[in-house]
Structure 1
């Protein structure tokens, strides 16, 4: 038995962002603003600023732990950060990454890992890759777990892909990505992160799968929404950043203004710029 009380309104005074609300936004052509988040303090701030979706990404391995890739991140670590974000969040939709090694073994392993993330507070799990993952996605969706898929540059496969390279530039690669996107949509994925994919291809994938909310990161302005790593857009990350990253701290009086500017520019189509931030 469960309580049917109305959820508390978010810290910013907005109603909680639900999957139904995200679908309404997508149908109406309203862009979805997503950022990575790893702790309670930033969760509260991003929620206050109107970020639609928070992603507890395995990028935490690089920006928090100083790892060279996302591969060392464990399920327990993502669970820990998901719990932290949950405590600070009030209304944003919360997605958590299934880290490397937590779902490749079997559908049952993927279910066990997803349950751990959902019990920590996630409302959706994200899984990388296409092809064999479609049946895993179907298995999870049939058991009531919303799934965000991830195609293009999939960081957990960085060694197999030969580094952080744009994906889908050739005809064969493009056809494979379109085929995998269709399979994932058919399996029940409701969101699809497209990373480092030519903008024209990302637009085509979105048009071919109108029920699938495409979230771009280096995939052009025609996706249903955009996501960036929080530390990147706040200019905290050291070293050379990809061309799709924009420093939103430039000209901002502080972090809150930078985040609000990000949300505003995603919503009104000023970010990403098709020339400066796309391929």
Structure 2
């Protein structure tokens, strides 16, 4: 009589099924990784291959011998570093970024002023960009393989001093009695900043301001300065005299 094995036969079937599942998982993972690599190469092209070369050179200690070539890099839309809304300077510096090693052209109000080459990290700068009084439209243009990208910005060149008038006090005003302060009031451009002896005054919507200034005995210099958004200033100086009062004592 033939003896049956004590190990159930279905155990072997389960084992082979598990192995089959593991093989299928490995095949799926390999296929997925291959598809990802193919897609990366399709989107990045030569850049991906160069990147692999750079990484390989880095780990082998020869990274300095491997560099990106500008013709291998995709065209990146340029950016312009933030500019002030207005300035009182006739020329300014303009900086930005784009594709490394590309020629960068700058236009101001439709006229090309200069060109430069972006460095290996894609940064570029233009010194002494000339402005005309009023609104200036800045445009940065880069081109590659018949493609063109641009960035724009604007700022105002304003060299006119802001309006500032003082209603009070009059120059040379003499204050006597117990008062030890004077009211400084006037009007300025509503978007300007007004300081009285270094302290900022509050302007209403029409540019009116009123400030109470403490005085010391004798001559008091009052300096009122208005500064506009472009940095232009208007200055008015007044002098107020606070008379000394003699203290009286009871007999």
User: Does the alignment reach a TM-score above 0.5?
Assistant: no
Greater RCO between the two (CA within 8 Å, min separation 6)? 1
TM-score range (shorter-chain normalised) is under 0.3
Which of the two has greater strand per residue?
2
More helix by share: 1
Q: TM-score, normalised to structure 2's length?
A: 0.20
Q: Which has the larger radius of gyration?
A: 2
